[in-house]
Structure 1
Amino acid sequence: MLAFTLLLMTACLSRTRALVTIHNAQAVLDERDETISVLLLEFEESAAEWLWETDATRRVIRPSARFARACGRAPADIDGMPILQLLAGPSWDSGTFAAGLRALAEKLRNRDSFVNLRLPIRFTEQERWWQLAAAPRYDDRGIFCGFRGVGADVTDQRASADKINRMARFDTLTGLPNRRLITETLSDAMIAAEACGGRCAFMMLDLDRFKAVNDTLGHPVGDRLLCQVAERLGHMMSANRSCGRLGGDEFALVVRDASDTGAVEELAGRIITALSRPYDVDHYTLHIGASIGLAFGPRDGRTSEMLIRSADLALYRAKDAGRGVFRVYEPALYVQAEERRVLEIALRGALDRGEMSLAYQPIIDTQGGMLRGFEALLRWESPEFGTVPPSRFIPLAEDARIIAQIGAWVLRTACVEAASWPEGLRIAVNVSPVQLQNDGFVTTVATVLADSGLSADRLELEVTEGVFLREDRGATTTLARILDLGVRLSLDDFGIGHSSLGYLSRTRFSSIKIDGSFVRAAARGGREALAIIRAVVALAQSLDIATIAEGVETQDERQLVAALGCTHAQGDLFGRALPVTETRTLAERDWTDSAAA
């Protein structure tokens, strides 16, 4: 009995100790559950997210008040409701589900955890976007009990992201796709064309005379003009066409199915016509135009970069053809571009290598036959390309922005040479319109005159009407400052372009040069050429301006221009373009008996 009593007491003590341990553990659990409940309640009341939970059959259980409010329902209404039916909203009956909802159904079916799953929700007229995350629940025996997760309304964040994405892919001024998006569109079109054995097309558009609008009326007017251009382009788009703005006054167009090349070319013509119609902007009637380069893929390029390059080369050809036209890419354009690139590399070092020189062509007084001066003509003798004509390398130097360096060398060399001639002889130097856009050009002229010792009235700068066609007042201002130095100005090639009396009224020219084509035509009896020369001479006489007939090669032509009243002449009859040694000999010659000759 004693042993039994001791054993019973020991068992009671052990049981009591176990009950105390269990009680303490339950107290800890109760305290933890209370803490969790408080935290969950605080989370529900203050956080932007909400909790949601389903059972093994994917039905909502124990819906929180915040989750119910997000659904626009009472908690009792959604308790036990299938989660997919709840989130599908009105589309549940139609069976038209968003991709995000299908992805959620797949995760629930496979019992996979997921995060950052976004799907559109439409409980009302306004569409919202939710972001969900959840993990499967299992009991102590490893039996699946359902899902527990969190959700949040990310509509505002998505709107911000969409705005940022739009800013990255769309032009902020016109609303058209930007360079990035239009390049992606072209890449997709090329992939589709190659897959079906078809072709796509890419057009690169450049607005003509747009810079004049910005320079004269300001950038705000120019921006509104660009918006009207974008609107006209937009009206010509379709499911098969997309247009965008590449930047500045450059636009682009992608034609996804360009199997009918004739239709694409006809579209390019219609675009030019549409963009060339007058624009009404801020009470101004503006007239611009457009040039287009057109390339077809994959014929003209198997990647979007190659096709864009081909269209750009075609656009360059369109501009070179006088603008307001479209040109289709040809393989010869790439060959020419490559030759141009290699030539530009050689041109950049031509001066340093001593490959350039000046030749001098005499200018004669038609009445007395006296030598009045020389025109300095630039020559380039390349070891690689041979004799390169100025008509080829001067435009290249302008485009490459090295004409200022070359022009300064020509001016300095010619003035130093002319300073050694007899006092009465002048030197004429051609000036590019690009040089006149340089603010430092006037300083260059003044410095050259001072360093060479040549008097300003013995220097005559020849400019073409291209200076005025650029519609930039900067060139006119530069010419006025040059005149203030005492330098003379000559208008070259008058009559072969858009000749206007306005050019002569803007600047005080000392001479007008009549192109040799008129001289030759007049010598053959051409009535129009004779009338043009007479008109130019009469105009020059009324303005007290000298006239120089170019390209005089025969005695008959010399007698003709003298009879028509031209005061000066130059051409092979009086001397071809001479090297500097022969020029000095001719300059030192006694011309007192030239009248008899």
Structure 2
Amino acid sequence: MSSRSPAAVRGGSPIAVSSLSDGERLAMLDDLEQSGLGWFWASNASGQLTYLSGAIATRLDLPLEELIGQPLTTIFAAADREERGKSLALMLGAHKAFAGMAVRAARRPEGAVLRLSGQPVTGTTGEFLGFRGTGADITEEYHREEETARLARYDSLTGLSNRHRMAHQIEATLTAFKAARRNCAVMMIDLDRFKHVNDTLGHAAGDALLKQVASRLTRAIDRECEIGRLGGDEFQVMLPDIDDRGVLGELATKIITMLRQPYSLEDGRCVIGASVGIAIAPHDGVTRDQIVRAADLALYAAKNGGRAQYRFFSGDLENETIFRRRLEQDLGTALREQQLFLRFEPIVEATGGAVASLEAHVCWNHADRGVIDEEEFAQIVEGSALLGDVGRWAIAAACARAALWPESVRIAVNVPVVLFLADDFVEIVAAAIEAAGVAPARLELEISEAVFFGDTSVVDRTLAALFKLGVRLTLDEFGSGYSSLAYLRRAPFDAIKIDQKLVAEAERHDGRELGLVRAIVALAGALQMDTMAGGIESAGLLAALTDCGVRYLEGPIFSEPLDEGTLDQEMAGGAWKIDPGAERTRRARRRTVFRKIQVIHDDYAYEVTLRNLSKTGALIQGLADVPKGTQFVVDLGGGQLAVATVTRSNGDVQGLEFEQSLVEDGSGGLCTRNRVSPYALAAAGAPLAPLGAGKFLGMDQGGAVPKFGYAAPAREGG
């Protein structure tokens, strides 16, 4: 017989009838609440708390009596700090059931995390009476999930945003900024020489270094930004609401300066560098893919430009990048077909000016490009897989050339780190000396401090073997931060070459830096080593270094690197001395002197020749009868417009003064602080797109009438 009564069956569905008394049911409920397996709460129609399990109050570390009667929305707050979850107020206001809402105590935001569920309660006539619900402690589970989510968005080593989060942030920002017509800059930062630290000191040292880099980056950027590590030694920075290239250039310089300061690691100090590429939306790209690619191209150009510098993106960089990659690919052909040749830079004694040695610089006579000088060649070969092969060739070619010189003149060759650490390096040197028939002491090997990151036993063994061979050893780039003085004391170096950055700083500030130079000279003297300094251009710096006691000097004030023909003429007179020339300066890198640009006056665009350019003005040629005081808008290309006034006029040549000074572009050139905004062009009916590389104002002259006539065409080089 059934134990259910007819009253226990409603609507055809049987309901079990409890045989427990009310007291027993309440006791069971109390036991359940105290166990933590189930907690309960209730609110009235106004949203005020009417019941709460005591265990919940205890878990929240709040007095129960202070909670009863308070609005539920003031007691609990969403646990998700970014408030991406459901809103408790919205759920309560909708009078609908909800489940799985993670909340914290509003007064204890760092405390326990609860999962709340609620069911609306209605009266017999359908009126809303409030909520009844349950709660569970999910603190540990929530923190595990939160940590998992954090690891998915942040770099576990540095705590910076990871590649995925940076992509999302840039995508979301550019989408929002496109609608709001706002600017956004992206920097790509790559560490110079980091791989060498990682390979020689180990990954633990590399990780410690990356943490310090992340900390310095965070301190260097004192404005709203998002900083991320994309992996390895590559970092990315997003800077909203900025398109001023003057400000961005200053910030990039600050980053480079801070990142190249010495780092303290367990195995000692080290110095690295950084290169920075900068692109600005919407000028250089509208989408995330466009702007990141533009910043990447600018970074590649910065690294190829000599590292430790920044570059802004321009439309010309893509062609420059493709061309440089082709040059790197052609390097193997250059070695096979003997397209490489040497130029020689004199190193003179400070007292008397006698040429003591010549430093060999590798150049390239490219089949299509022509002569690639020593500066550009050094940028191409750095990082190339053929760097060691070029070093081998340079040592052999330098020794062969030195065999033709007087015995009193030595030959100096810079040794790439990868070649110095090669197993057969000493044999390569010995073979070059023997083949040329020169005395070993006439060969000076300039060895970078970076070799000290290599295996200590290999470095010691190689230095000892070279010393035994009889060649002279010069420690190059001293003061860049790699070597320890204890190691220097026992290494068989004949000379120390002071780092050129330190020499340059001494010329600019001539205080603390000159004190360091004096200390290096004193240290070298105590160790019975000579000192050298290069890159000297001014008479003032020359006098200061001589006063410090530096023995050997090198730089444009004495001579630029010479080709073999010129060298033979200088050697023919016997003893060779060079007096410093105050008028000598470093040869500027070859650039186009004459460039066609447009200038606009009264809505008419004239094509003229830009003869020179400075931060404050320019010299143009091509227009006749232009009076002083005339205002032009000068189109420098790529959306760069500068308002200028004619301050002098002589025939077809006009001197212009800019209303706003130009700024450094990171590669030795100049650019405008701001560019015409693609947003402004879009407002005028043009499609929203990055700016082109060429002339910006390809104007439709319409009914405009030219006020000035063209003079005879300017002759380039005139």
Given the two structures, how large is their TM-score scaled by the length of structure 2? 0.48
Partner of 2:91: 106
1:384–1:360 distance in 2 versus 1, CA, 3 Å? closer
Does 1:446 find its partner at 2:427? yes
CA contact (8 A) 1:225 1:281 kept: no
Partner of 2:681: none
Q: How large is the Cα RMSD of the aligned pairs?
A: 6.7
CA contact (8 A) 2:363 2:372 kept: yes
Partner of 1:543: none
Does 1:334 find its partner at 2:347? no
Larger strand proportion, structure 1 or 2?
Answer: 2
* Equivalent residue in structure 2 for 1:468, among 426, 431, 448: 448
Q: State which drifts further: 301-310 or 253-262.
A: 301-310
In terms of Rg, which structure is larger? 1
Q: Distance in 2 between matches of 1:61 and 1:563?
A: 102
CA contact (8 A) 2:104 2:112 kept: yes
Q: For each residue in 1:277-322, what CA deviation from the matched residue of structure 2 results, as whole angstroms up to 9, or x when unmatched?
A: 999999x999988654332122223344543443344445556666
Q: Which amino acid aligns with 2:421?
A: D
Matched position secondary structure for 2:573: helix
Q: Which amino acid aligns with 1:229?
A: R
1:331, distance to aligned residue in structure 2 (A): 2.3
Gaps of 5+ in 1: 1-16, 93-97, 363-374, 419-427, 519-525, 533-537, 541-547, 566-597
Partner of 1:5: none
* Equivalent residue in structure 1 for 2:219, among 228, 232, 237: 232
Partner of 2:179: 195
CA contact (8 A) 1:446 1:485 kept: no
Does 1:87 find its partner at 2:80? no
Q: Which amino acid aligns with 2:219?
A: R
Q: State which drifts further: 199-208 or 377-386.
A: 377-386
1:553–1:188 distance in 2 versus 1, CA, 3 Å? same
1:110, distance to aligned residue in structure 2 (A): 5.3
* Equivalent residue in structure 1 for 2:39, among 23, 26, 50: 50
Q: State which drifts further: 381-390 or 62-71.
A: 381-390
Q: Distance in 1 between matches of 2:418 and 2:146?
A: 47
* Equivalent residue in structure 2 for 1:295, among 272, 275, 279: 279
Q: State which drifts further: 320-329 or 198-207.
A: 320-329
CA contact (8 A) 2:363 2:377 kept: no
Q: Distance in 1 between matches of 2:572 and 2:100?
A: 92
Q: State which drifts further: 443-452 or 247-256.
A: 443-452
Partner of 1:435: 418
1:256, distance to aligned residue in structure 2 (A): 0.7
Q: Distance in 1 between matches of 2:27 and 2:304?
A: 78
Q: Which amino acid aligns with 1:559?
A: A
Q: For each residue in 1:174-213, what CA deviation from the matched residue of structure 2 results, as whole angstroms up to 9, or x when unmatched?
A: 6554555455443343233322223211234567899999
1:456–1:133 distance in 2 versus 1, CA, 3 Å? farther
* Equivalent residue in structure 1 for 2:573, among 560, 572, 579: 560
1:231–1:45 distance in 2 versus 1, CA, 3 Å? same
Q: Which amino acid aligns with 1:468?
A: S
Does 1:551 find its partner at 2:564? yes
CA contact (8 A) 1:431 1:461 kept: no
Matched position secondary structure for 2:382: helix
Matched position secondary structure for 2:566: coil
Q: Distance in 1 between matches of 2:159 and 2:26?
A: 51
Does 1:153 find its partner at 2:137? yes
1:312–1:505 distance in 2 versus 1, CA, 3 Å? farther
Gaps of 5+ in 2: 78-82, 345-358, 402-410, 477-496, 504-516, 546-550, 554-560, 579-718
Q: Distance in 1 between matches of 2:363 and 2:179?
A: 53
CA contact (8 A) 1:358 1:376 kept: no
Q: For each residue in 1:235-271, what CA deviation from the matched residue of structure 2 results, as whole angstroms up to 9, or x when unmatched?
A: x22xx44445667776554321114444444444566
1:329, distance to aligned residue in structure 2 (A): 2.4
Q: Which amino acid aligns with 1:109?
A: A
Percent of aligned pairs with the same residue? 26
CA contact (8 A) 1:205 1:250 kept: yes
Q: For each residue in 1:156-179, what CA deviation from the matched residue of structure 2 results, as whole angstroms up to 9, or x when unmatched?
A: 544454455455545667655455
Matched position secondary structure for 1:331: coil
Aligned length, in residue pairs:
486
Matched position secondary structure for 1:131: strand
1:122–1:48 distance in 2 versus 1, CA, 3 Å? farther
1:563–1:451 distance in 2 versus 1, CA, 3 Å? closer
Q: Distance in 1 between matches of 2:181 and 2:146?
A: 35
Q: Which amino acid aligns with 1:434?
A: V
Q: Which amino acid aligns with 1:233?
A: A
1:260–1:383 distance in 2 versus 1, CA, 3 Å? closer
CA contact (8 A) 1:99 1:119 kept: no
Given the two structures, how large is their TM-score scaled by the length of structure 1? 0.55
1:103–1:124 distance in 2 versus 1, CA, 3 Å? closer
1:119, distance to aligned residue in structure 2 (A): 3.1
